[in-house]
Amino acid sequence: MKTFITQFFTWWNGQTLGTRFFTWRKGTKVGTDQFGNVYYEGTFDSEGRKRRWVIYNGYAEASAIPAGWHGWIHHRVDTPPSSENYKPYAWEKNHQPNLTGSPAAYHPKGSIAHGDNRPTVTGDYDAWTPGS
């Protein structure tokens, strides 16, 4: 269980006291994913749809929501994966967290972080130089 200080002063680590209170008053638990994130549904929003939210297991990272739950939380599907026999399509990749800022981040060829020199420009493009 998170400490009172953590819940009071951090919004990125689990849930805040305000979110805990709102979830307790208005939320109905819909399900849990394989990462321990818990999904809720509550009162209607201004567009007439039920509000949907997630309490992350650990740091609040939007890329930590698997594909099936992503569709539900963004109102793309009405039935949550916990209420149906959800199976990912064969073309869906396994979930991978956001790797930005980590050693495993993607660095395209020519990127400063990649360490290679940028490929020379060929074809009909001439780089602009001041005074020309």
pLDDT in tens, 42-58: 877 777 788 888 888 87
Which residues does 54 contact at the CB level (< 8 Å), separation at least 6?
A: 37, 38, 39, 40, 65, 69, 73
Which residues does 28 contact at the CB level (< 8 Å), separation at least 6?
A: 40, 41, 42
pLDDT of residue 129: 85
Which two structure tokens, joined as six digits, stand for 95?
A: 């979930």
pLDDT in tens, 54-90: 888 877 778 888 888 888 889 898 888 887 777 778 8
Q: Which pTM was predicted?
A: 0.62
Annotated domain spans of the chain: 4-95
- Distances from the Cα of 39 to the Cα of 2, 18, 53, 108, 127, angstroms: 18, 16, 6, 35, 51
Q: Which residue has the higher pLDDT, 28 or 3?
A: 28
